[in-house]
Amino acid sequence: MLEAILVVAFGGALVSYFLGRWTSRIRDYFALGVWIAILGMTSYLHQIEPKISTFYPGFLGYDLSLRITSLSWLFAVTVAAVSVLVIIYSFRYIKGHEKRNLFYFLLLLVNGGMMGITLSGDLLSFYIFWEIASWSTFLLISFNRGKALPAGLRYVVMSVIGSAAMLVATLSLYSSYGTLALSDLSTHLATAGGGYVIFIFLLFFVSFGVKNAIVPFHTWLPPAHSEAPAPFSAVLSGLLVKMGTYGLILIFYLIAGMKIFLGLGTGIWSFHYIISALAGVTIVVPSFIAVLQDDAKKTLAWSTVGQAGYIVLGVSFGTGLALAAGIFHFLNHAMFKSLLFMSIGTVERKTSTRDLNELGGLVKRTPVLFVVTLVGAAGLIGIPLTNGFFSKWMLYKTLILEGNPFLAFAALVGTWGTVLYSYRLIHNVFFGQLPEKYRDVTRTSFSTYLPMVILSIAIVFFGVFPGFLLGEINVVTTSLGFTPLDVQLWGISSDSGTVNTLNILAALAVVGVMVWYLFRSSAETTEVSQEDSYTAGAPVPQGRFTYTADFYRPLEKIIRPYLKDRIEDFYGMLVGFVGVLSDTVRRIYTGYVGTYVAYILALLAAVLLVQLGWKPW
């Protein structure tokens, strides 16, 4: 079964490429069919006994294997589900682009690579699938050429550094223990010394940190996310980045185990606490950098970095509730961020801009798009009754009750950054007067809406009934050695404060209906045009009577000096230094034969000198 999934995934990618040369319509449906089949097969594996199967015996004298656990199942099924939705979304989006076959091929390859990552049973096959996903990601990021090329290049340089770190760690583990199977490594690592474990952890942390965009490895992400084609941005942000999270959980909790991971060092100088602190920085700074962006996709990209901080904080903090919150937030983030990238992608396709200062008034033209974007933004902020609320609530609760108010403060302040940029995103795209040039923006097609509507329903559904997902997550955290949580359909019950989503829903529904009734039963309203607004008697200007540019200007003036991306500057300095160094080295090759003859003569002279016994006088 596990092999079958991968065969279908990679075979499907190849076949759809060649199908596309014949007819594009069949290619689209074939790609969709492949991933629906994979989703079906993966869901069939639900709560199966953990099992291992060798799929390639004797690769360089080493057996490659696949393995499924509750953890990998959860990630695999998320990958499959979001992939299906993204493929549906791509139908319309990619129409009219060049090289559509290549796009589908690469998209299916990335998704297949991610399935492989989640299902690998040993670190070598993990590395192979990791590389497949990474390289096809590079090609997809730079798919649009132009500005996308340097973005892709930046990604690939950082990705190679991460891969190299992973390879070193993998080889070191192999030379120490003679095995790379995940199940065997856990027994070996239990007896390893603390120094060696930290060495391995650091290497893997660099590798997964690059992918997960943890500060200071985040600089590749904003340009990559904003320049990639929108369907792929959704995959990139919702899934691919979170393969780093999967890797971190794998190495910290599955291979090393909770005892080793939480036992390195004491107090605030322990390994997991330092990572938590890094995650705290990753939440706060990028969330406020996102507030300052004028590009809608760049806002979302920085927001991805910030939300990744919440997930990593949950994974590294080291309580069962925190880990559950981290995994839950990963699932939620896959939903709302894919949705937001899709909707902004649609806006960009309709208006051919994503500059927040240019857009406006689209609520009148595309009401459905507005509603789904609003739901996505609500999930991102964490408004109660959307899924993002519950995962963040769990995280805050454990941070506070475990006596870490400063980490909780970082997480809560990050939420305010989220409120600011999410509202600005909604306001500048959908509100204000509708400019003349967008008067004829049409509603978009069914296949574009369908994935967004499904995702927004999921966001609300899992916000009201978080228990469905928490039940699955509970199995995962329990299998990693944490005490089980008391999961109910409406949340988690515990002595130290519970939140009941059904109470909130009931209260909001009843009160909402009452207020609505009061609203309906009082005097009638008359609908007026957008030009009919208050200007203290002055005539209303047409089209651009809108306040969008520099929306947070008073705030910007205060915070911008503190939010310079110093790490970016540092890397820039590094690049400049390497450039100067290489330039100096290059100067040796002048291109004149005379110079080279002079080099040869000088060398000969030096050799003779040494031969004579270094006695020039």
Partner 1 sequence: MVGMKIAGIIFSPIIGVITGLLLTGAARKMVARVEWRYGPPILQPVIDLIKLFFQRPPSHGKTFDYGLIASLAGSIVLVLFLPVGRLCPLSEGGGLLLITYLILIGPLGMALSGGEGANPYVSIGISRKLILSLGYEVTLLLILLSVMSEYDTISIFNVVRAQSENGWSLFSWPLVIPGLAYLLILPAILGVKPFDVASAPQEISSGPHVEYGGKYLALSKLEGGLSEFIGIALFVNLFLGGWSIPGSLHLPAGVLGVFLGVLVFLAKVAFVFSLNVTVSASFPRLRVEQAVKYLWSWPAFIGLVGLIIVSAL
Residues 480-499 that bind partner 1 (CB under 8 A): 496-499
Angle of the 320-351 helix axis to the 467-479 helix axis, nearest 10: 130
Closest among 35, 12, 24, 9 to 100, alpha carbons compared: 24
Does residue 503 bind partner 1 (CB under 8 A)? yes
* Closer of 184 and 556 to partner 1 (Cβ): 556
Give CA separation, 46 vs 72, 131, 483, 617, in Å.
11, 27, 21, 85
The helix or strand, by DSSP H or E, that contains position 64, with its residue range, turns out to be strand 64-68
Which tokens go with 584?
A: 């100096």
Q: Rule CB under 8 A: say whether 432 interacts with partner 1.
A: yes
Contact of 335 with 457, CB cutoff 8 Å: no
Helix, strand, or coil here: 345? helix
Q: Does 515 bind partner 1 (CB under 8 A)?
A: yes
Give the residue, chosen from 136, 316, 343, 546, that forms a contact with partner 1 under the rule CB under 8 A.
546
Indicate which single residue of 100, 188, 349, 364 sits in contact with partner 1 (rule: CB under 8 A): 364
What is the longest distance spanned by two Cα atoms in the chain? 112
Distance CA 334, CA 469 (A): 13
Shortest separation between residue 532's beta carbon and partner 1, angstroms: 7
Give the nearest distance from C-beta 406 to partner 1 in angstroms.
7
User: Stretches 134-142, 300-308, 477-485, 513-521: which one binds partner 1 (CB under 8 A)?
Assistant: 513-521
Nearest alpha carbon to residue 460 among 385, 391, 512: 385
Site for partner 1 in 433-472 (CB under 8 A): 433-434
Binder of partner 1 out of 19, 103, 548, 565 (CB under 8 A): 548
Position 423 contacts partner 1 (CB under 8 A): yes
Angle formed at CA 222 by CA 216 and CA 223, multiple of 5 degrees: 120
**Residue 561 has what DSSP assignment?**
G
Q: Which of 7, 48, 164, 508 binds partner 1 (CB under 8 A)?
A: 508
Measured from the CB atom, is 541 or 579 closer to partner 1?
541
Cα-based distances in Å from 221 to 267, 299, 399, 463: 32, 12, 28, 28
Indicate the residue type of 579.
Answer: G
CB 368 to partner 1: min, Å? 12
CB of 271 to partner 1, least distance (A): 22
State the minimum distance, in angstroms, from the CB of residue 573 to partner 1: 31
Stretch that binds partner 1, among 229-237, 238-246, 435-443, 501-509 (CB under 8 A): 501-509
The reply to whether 168 sits near partner 1 by the rule CB under 8 A is no
- Site track for partner 1 across 377-416, x = CB under 8 A: ----xxxx----x---x--xx--xx-x-xx-xx--xx--x
At closest approach, how far in Å is the CB of 455 from partner 1? Answer: 20
Structure tokens at 118: 């989640």
With CA atoms as reference, report the closest residue to 399 among 387, 385, 414, 384: 414
Nearest-approach distance from CB 538 to partner 1, in angstroms: 12
Residue in 202, 292, 426, 450 binding partner 1, rule: CB under 8 A: 426
Among 442, 522, 584, 611, binds partner 1 (CB under 8 A): 522
Q: Tell me the closest approach of the beta carbon of residue 506 to partner 1, in angstroms.
A: 10
Q: Any contact of residue 152 with partner 1 (CB under 8 A)? A: no
Report in angstroms how near the CB of residue 561 gets to partner 1 at its nearest. 13
Among 259, 269, 352, 532, binds partner 1 (CB under 8 A): 532
- Check: CB of residue 336 under 8 Å from CB of residue 380: yes
Residue nearer to partner 1 on the CB measure, 97 or 557? 557
Q: Which two tokens mark 306?
A: 């910030």
CB 9 within 8 A of CB 49: no
Could you tell me where the DSSP H helices lie in 120-147? 123-141
Whole-number Å distance between alpha carbons of 330 and 322: 12
Strand partners, 53: 66
- C-beta of 244 vs 280, nearer to partner 1: 280
Please identify which residue in 558, 588, 593, 608 interacts with partner 1, judged by CB under 8 A. Answer: 558
Pairing of strands 487-488, 64-68: unpaired
Site for partner 1 contains 555 (CB under 8 A): yes
